[in-house]
Amino acid sequence: MGRTSRLVAATISAVAVVSACLATTGSAVPPDPARAWADATLDGMTLEEKVGQLFVTYTYGRSADTPHPQNREEFGVDTPAQVVQKYHLGGMIHFSWTDSLHDPKQIAEHSNGLQNAAVNSGAKVPLLISTDQEQGQVTRIKEPATQLPGNMALGAGRSAEDARRSAAITGEELRAMGLAQNFAPSGDVNVNPANPVIGVRSFSSDPGLAAEFSAAQVRGYQEDSNVAAAVKHFPGHGDTNQDSHTALPVIEHDRQQWEQLDAPPFREAIAAGTDVVMSAHIVVPKLDDSGEPSTLSRNVITGMLREELGYQGVVVTDSLQMDGVRQMHPDGEIPVLALEAGVDQLLMPQNLQVGIDGVLNAVRTGRLTEQRIDESVRRVLEMKARRGVVENPFVDVSKVDEIVGSPKNTGDAQTITDRSTTLLRNDANLLPLREKQKRVFVTGAGAGATKSLAERISARGPKATALETGLKPTPEQINQAVEQSKGNDLTVVLTNAAWSESNASQLDLVRALQQAGKPVVAVAVRDPYDAAHVEEVPTWLTTYSDKAVAMESLTKVLFGESAPAGKLPVPVPDPKTPGTDRYPFGHGLSW
């Protein structure tokens, strides 16, 4: 530990000792050590250092000291460490596309290098290093990190303890790599099957189930692994057919609908002590007449979240590069409006220098007071102290491989996933498979999923071959799959969001395989909604995930090694009869 880190740790430890002494002597309410440290640190910061603490951005490169041309282009310096020092950053977020996430040791070493830059420059405050490791569809760090199938699969398993354990596994491994903030879980209640951005990222269409599991994951991250959780996307992104990455969705829920459908997961997550709530780039005209995206609306952030729900923790924006927040204002204005609304952390501005200058100019012209800046900085600093980042910003690289992807974690992940596979239809009594299937053909969406499933089937005895046809199979690919299926005893076809109009040729593939005359098992490996679109196939399952861990669970069900235990956490509507469900909430067959 460096000298600066030791001084910071000593400060917070000393405050903790004073607090303990006051508590035992019966004096007035003892001071909160995190608040005391935050106040003391804030007093010594310049305005530029304070504003820097509110921004979270990415940088490019495998290590803190690796020059990368994109850093020069976007930030005017060469290395991630120089970005931290130049802008006095409060947080860093990692993605694979920034060349920042390779293997656990590399990530841990990168984290330590970034922290070294932070604690030896400016206000000498450690970073909150973060990512979006929701698991399932949104998984930034791949194997050997433990992989899990995601929220909707957890909802199908109906175990809040599994939800908590999955967050604890993820949090423990993130923390070992130096990441102390995770932008998860998604508390959105997915009541719209056409939702293109949430879907399987939601636990359920049932607000009570989504609320229970959101709170469980907050506890798993924060209490079990000491990682800051961020429940998202407030006030609720579940009922939209637009993606806020590319549009500004309008959600028409009125007050009663919001209270009943959208609010419960946020209420429960707040009651569980979530460190962070992330805002949504959506418009809710029946709840907020400002016309602004919720991220920039004081009515939503201060009025609904802080005053109505009583939330006093950190509010972070969703990415400020998304079209949903950039349609109405210039990039230098957006962070200012967010702060005026009541936000604290400003995530991924389109141009970091422009964003910081916008906030600095707003303070210098009197539009924002420095007291308002201090309010948000204090929340961020307190969160860092409470998550132990201040006391010990560095990680032990030598222990990373013992923790990340450990046998205990991967074993628990498989057990959790085994409880999620859902059998929707078994009209031909095809499952579990009989011994007569000697040759199995696996096809459909996902190169990794089809290959993984074929390998697992082959390990059970049959000879399995795989042909990946993608999200949008062409007529030629469909014909190839049909011809290949004829030389096999059974076809397993995987679909991925085939309900979407843009992916509808997947449905043509499934129908053509059924017409080829060989038994077909169809599996929706993302949203379960696909199963209602091809009635010709009498055998349908859903896994909610195409990850290898889900393909192993699927294989166990196919061969009768385990019974399907999942229950639909969302209803599957009948596309031919609007207003009715083909498979109702809670449906799930077994044997």
Catalytic residues: 245, 318
- 429 burial via Cβ count (<10 Å: 0-12, 13-18, 19+): exposed
Spacing of C-alpha 441 from chain mean position: 33
Which residues contact residue 315 at a Cβ distance below 8 angstroms, ignoring those fewer than 6 apart?
A: 234, 276, 277, 278, 279, 301, 305, 306, 342, 343, 344, 345
- Helix runs in 250-406, H state only: 255-257, 263-271, 298, 323-326, 334-341, 352-364, 370-386, 400-403
Rounded Cα gap, residues 103 and 321, in angstroms: 27
Rounded Cα gap, residues 103 and 112, in angstroms: 14
Rounded Cα gap, residues 302 and 310, in angstroms: 10
**What is the Cβ-side half-sphere exposure of residue 463, based on CA atoms within 13 angstroms?**
6
Report angle CA 490, 495, 499 to the nearest 5 degrees. Answer: 135
Measure Cα distances from 539 to 86, 420, 465, 467, 468 in Å: 59, 17, 20, 20, 20
Instruction: For residue 314, give the H/E element and its range.
Output: strand 314-316
Neighbours of 321 (CB within 10 A): 15
Backbone angles phi, psi at 130, to 5 degrees: -140, 175
Q: What is the DSSP letter of 459?
A: T
Q: What is the DSSP letter of 294?
A: G
Neighbours of 333 (CB within 10 A): 15
Report angle CA 421, 422, 428 to the nearest 5 degrees. Answer: 120
Strand locations in 186-285 (E) = 230-234, 276-279
Rounded Cα gap, residues 519 and 437, in angstroms: 10
Rounded Cα gap, residues 335 and 114, in angstroms: 24
Spacing of C-alpha 45 from chain mean position: 33
Which residues contact residue 240 at a Cβ distance below 8 angstroms, ignoring those fewer than 6 apart?
A: 192, 195, 197, 198, 249, 250, 251, 282
Pairing of strands 439-444, 490-495: parallel
Measure Cα distances from 190 to 6, 84, 110, 252, 354 in Å: 46, 37, 36, 14, 35
Instruction: For residue 86, give the H/E element and its range.
Output: helix 80-87
Neighbours of 118 (CB within 10 A): 29
Backbone angles phi, psi at 573, to 5 degrees: -70, 155
Which residues contact residue 426 at a Cβ distance below 8 angstroms, ignoring those fewer than 6 apart?
A: 538, 539, 589
What's the one-letter identity of residue 204? Answer: S
